[in-house]
């Protein structure tokens, strides 16, 4: 009868296996969020599977731009593990479901942003003014015409009111903003567009940093755990104030640069997205403290307060 030997601790993971596990954990977390959205909105697995396969083929194809056409299918199949017949089908020029495409201007969002940032439409304290609907500057009519003259100001007002972002006092014929940030409640199409655009660019920035593609993208966060819901809510005014300060400083600067670059030939096509996000989560009573964030994250641990460190990739 064999006697059990002394317990041996599991071997320390090598650099390669540790990185592979980290990659699996990262992709698994992303997939979990996508699955939650798909299930909640009735998007079947087969549709998501088709999108994922097509995205894999497009990424592998882009990674080998110099290949001769008759070798692309084999190389893409090898890189992705998708069989050659499927690769051939997926490489057809039909537009891919969910592919990244240029999204049309959101005129309502532009009017909202101008209202929050342009000096004539803000009070001395920096708050958006209550505007007369018509008349000389500052009025909603002149504000809308700064953004576009192709759409009637009343149509833009109706859209902002429909989205719950502004309200019209018919008796006084004045217009006021209803929210500090452009979140079109009830407009699921617009909200899903924001999800794809904002989260998509955030994810592209993080992936580019991990892969070492080009200059480092600015991608950082602050993490804290062991907080009550009241404590979490208490910092919201600070976050909102910082966002409004960034908005007021950055939008006029970017608009001036867009106007200056418009004279260049050929027309520049570079784009920039700057965002600030928060994710709040309240654990159940008695739950264990949240797991430590990854290295590089600004973290405030639950029991022993100490200086935060920043999350960045």
Whether residue 177 is predicted with pLDDT greater than 50 in this model: the reply is yes
Q: Specify the DSSP class assigned to residue 122.
A: B
3-state secondary structure (DSSP) of residue 163: coil
Q: What pLDDT does residue 12 have?
A: 60
Task: Determine the distance from the C-alpha atom of residue 171 to the mean position of all C-alpha atoms in its chain, rounded to a whole number.
Answer: 39
Q: What pLDDT does residue 97 have?
A: 45
Q: What is the mean pLDDT of residues 148-154?
A: 89
Condensed to tens digits (0 to 9), the pLDDT of residues 43-92 reads 788 888 999 999 999 999 998 888 887 788 999 999 999 998 999 999 88
Q: pTM, whole model, 2 decimals?
A: 0.57
| Phi, psi of 233, deg, nearest 5 | -65, -30
- Give me the chain's average pLDDT, please: 79
Q: What pLDDT does residue 123 have?
A: 84
Position 100 confidence tier, pLDDT thresholds 50, 70, 90: very low
Q: Which residue has the higher pLDDT, 103 or 156?
A: 156
Condensed to tens digits (0 to 9), the pLDDT of residues 230-263 reads 999 999 999 988 988 898 889 889 888 988 998 8
Element (H, E) at 62: helix 45-63
Q: What pLDDT does residue 175 have?
A: 92
- Give me 264's structure tokens: 């260049």
All structural domains of the chain with their residue ranges = 28-88, 107-177, 187-213, 219-257+296-313
Question: What is the arrangement of strands in the sheet containing 298-300, beginning at the earlier edge strand?
Answer: 298-300, 220-224, 310-312
Question: What is the arrangement of strands in the sheet containing 166-169, beginning at the earlier edge strand?
Answer: 131-132, 174-177, 166-169
Q: Which residue has the higher pLDDT, 132 or 117?
A: 132
- Which of 1-15, 109-123, 261-275 shows the lowest mean pLDDT across its residues? 1-15
Tell me which residue of 212, 214, 204 sits closest to 275, measured CA to CA: 204
Cα gap 176→230, rounded to integer Å: 30
| Phi, psi of 174, deg, nearest 5 | -125, 160
3-state secondary structure (DSSP) of residue 125: coil
Contacts of residue 250, defined as CB under 8 A and 6 or more positions apart, other chains included, come to 274
Q: Is the peptide bond before 2 cis (omega within 30 degrees of 0)?
A: no
Residues forming beta bridges with residue 221, ordered by sequence position: 311
Q: Specify the DSSP class assigned to residue 9.
A: P
């Amino acid at each position: 009868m064999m006697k059990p030997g002394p317990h041996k601790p599991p071997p320390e993971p090598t650099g390669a296996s540790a990185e592979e596990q980290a990659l699996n954990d990262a992709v698994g977390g992303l997939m979990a969020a996508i699955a939650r959205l798909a299930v909640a909105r009735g998007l079947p697995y087969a549709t998501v599977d088709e999108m994922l396969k097509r995205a894999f083929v497009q990424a592998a194809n882009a990674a080998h731009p110099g290949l001769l056409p008759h070798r692309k299918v084999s190389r893409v199949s090898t890189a992705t593990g998708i069989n050659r017949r499927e690769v051939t089908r997926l490489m057809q020029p039909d537009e891919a479901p969910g592919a990244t495409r240029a999204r049309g201007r959101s005129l309502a969002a532009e009017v909202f942003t101008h209202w929050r940032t342009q000096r004539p439409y803000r009070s001395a304290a920096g708050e958006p003014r209550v505007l007369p609907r018509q008349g000389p500057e500052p009025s909603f009519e002149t504000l809308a015409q700064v953004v576009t003259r192709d759409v009637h100001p009343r149509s833009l007002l109706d859209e902002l009111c429909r989205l719950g972002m502004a309200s019209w006092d018919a008796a006084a014929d004045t217009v006021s903003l209803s929210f500090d940030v452009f979140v079109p409640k009830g407009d699921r199409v617009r909200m899903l567009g924001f999800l794809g655009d904002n989260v998509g660019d955030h994810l592209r920035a993080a992936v580019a940093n991990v892969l070492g593609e080009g200059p480092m993208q600015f991608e950082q966060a602050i993490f804290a755990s062991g907080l009550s819901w009241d404590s979490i809510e208490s910092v919201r005014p600070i976050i909102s104030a910082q966002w409004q300060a960034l908005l007021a400083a950055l939008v006029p600067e970017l608009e001036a640069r867009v106007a200056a670059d418009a004279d260049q030939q050929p027309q520049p096509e570079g784009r920039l997205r700057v965002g600030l996000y928060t994710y709040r989560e309240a654990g159940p009573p008695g739950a264990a403290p949240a797991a430590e964030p990854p290295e590089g994250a600004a973290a405030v641990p639950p029991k022993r307060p100490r200086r935060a460190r920043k999350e960045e990739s």
